[in-house]
Structure 1
Amino acid sequence: PAAIVSFGIPIVTPWRNDVKLACMTVGIPPPTVEWRLGDVKLHKQSRIDIEDDNTLVLRNLQRSQEGNYSCHVKNSIGFDEIVYSLQIQ
């Protein structure tokens, strides 16, 4: 099955900081990974990056980026997700 081996935690960080959210996965067949903010799928942008190891990188954080960031993984056998609650001060 698809599984995540990292843990979602609440994160409080200062405004304009950068933050990295890990999503380490295991599974056979290899799972697909999707990051979301609430129900909105995230894509690479000027201040959002998704690294090769599926880590979500948020740069120059703004208060509008507060919320629940979730990593969803799935393959033909199963599904898993973790959630990070991000608060910006």
Structure 2
Amino acid sequence: NHDIPSDGLSDGPAEAPTTARRRRRSPSPPSPRPCKETFNVFYHEADADTATALTPPWMENPYVKVDTVAAEHLTRRSGPPGGRPAGRVNRKTLRL
């Protein structure tokens, strides 16, 4: 949940950096392709950053779906659990 100030623009690009970790695969049957995660990006237009965990309600309406994003680069966890992922960051520029 991020507030992106419009600075008076009617529309503009927003960059969304993401990371997606490589999943552990089950031993059988082995898959020739890595498993990739996707997620949906929604926006809610408001005059100020007043969102809380409860309002506006977390459902498709009043939010507008912008895109479905898939990770181009998968990362692996480095170090202890909760450590930062090692690898490239995925960047997607969205038109809002």
Report the TM-score when normalising by structure 2.
Answer: 0.31
Indicate the structure with greater strand content: 1
Computing the radius of gyration from Cα coordinates, the structure with the larger value is 2
